Amino acid sequence: MGDTSTQHTPLGSGTSTPLSVAEKRGQSQANKKQGNNNDKLPKREVKILMLHGYTQSGALFRAKVRALEKILAKALLPLNLVPSLIYPTAPNRLSPRDIPGYAPSPDSPPEDSEIDSWAWFRRNEATGDYRLLREGMLSIASCIEEAGGEIEGVVGFSQGGCVAAMLAAALERDRKVTSGAHEEWVAKLREANRGGEVKFFVSYSGFWAVPQDLAWLYEPKIRTPSLHVLGGLDTVVEEGRSRGLVDRCEDGENRVVVVHPGGHYVPVSKEWVMPVAGFMRKYLEETKEEKKEEGEEGS
């Protein structure tokens, strides 16, 4: 297959020929010169949308992935790119009985009490349809609008990973909406992002949307570059569901799969964050070069 699958993808791996002392000195001087040149260049903000999972919130998701923030900032520093990570909270509040595995006890809160747990949509167990999806996507459109548009990437976990792929697909300019029920939120998203596409999406333990009225999101396949991080021991979102999303993205070097040895969570150790930061940097660096060329052509 055309996707890149790996159990472990640390950056900087591979072999190289040892440098002589003179070569090392020359390289060091070149790096310093490049660094001085970069210091003089204006820094550019890069907006990345971060979508939490079912039962979480924006604040909780941020607390869980702070390591990604720090490593990404270091990875983009040489490019004079400053990541601005945006963590919205989904609009659909859940109650204790909506939490998977909920078992009432004398110490449990009332089943209909309000807790800090949220969802982008709710699956109708009888029909398989996604209830409240419109509200979830419109809230994302409002978040993008408030941020000034031009979101360049989106990262999501679990249900947020599903929505990240849906968002990336919906923003593709040549994708046609074949279901009238979804035209409103797609139009709002495209308007909020000023007609721009995202440069990539990252899905942690994500899955594809099965309702037939959302099939247009995957037909044709999503061409936005994608990174899929799966947990080898994930029992919440089975690997087959995540692989279903992978299969609905175009084959080739722009589709990458990484499998970590854990379960249903975002791995934040350096060895698992570095491949993600490297993936983001690749597409943001390409965007930077494109903008530079456009500026030179317009001068």
pLDDT, block means (10 residues), the chain with 299 residues: 39 40 53 53 92 98 94 94 97 91 70 86 94 98 97 98 98 96 98 98 98 97 98 95 98 96 96 95 80 54
What's the rounded Cα separation, in Å, for the pair 261 and 67? 18
Q: Please tell me whether residue 255 adopts helix, strand or coil conformation.
A: strand
Percent of the chain past pLDDT 90, that is, above it, reads 74
Q: Which residue ranges form the domains of the chain, and what is each CATH number? A: 41-99+112-298 (3.40.50.1820)
48-60 pLDDT, tens digit per residue, is 999 999 999 999 9
Closest of 175, 160, 245 to residue 210, by C-alpha: 245
153 Cβ contact partners less than 8 Å away, ≥ 6 residues apart = 46, 47, 48, 49, 198, 199, 200, 201, 202, 280, 283, 284
83-106 pLDDT, tens digit per residue, is 999 999 999 999 998 888 777 776
pTM > 0.85: yes or no: no
Phi, psi of 42 (to 5 degrees): -70, 145
Percent of the chain past pLDDT 70, that is, above it, reads 80
Asked if 149 and 193 count as a contact pair (C-beta separation under 8 A), the reply is yes
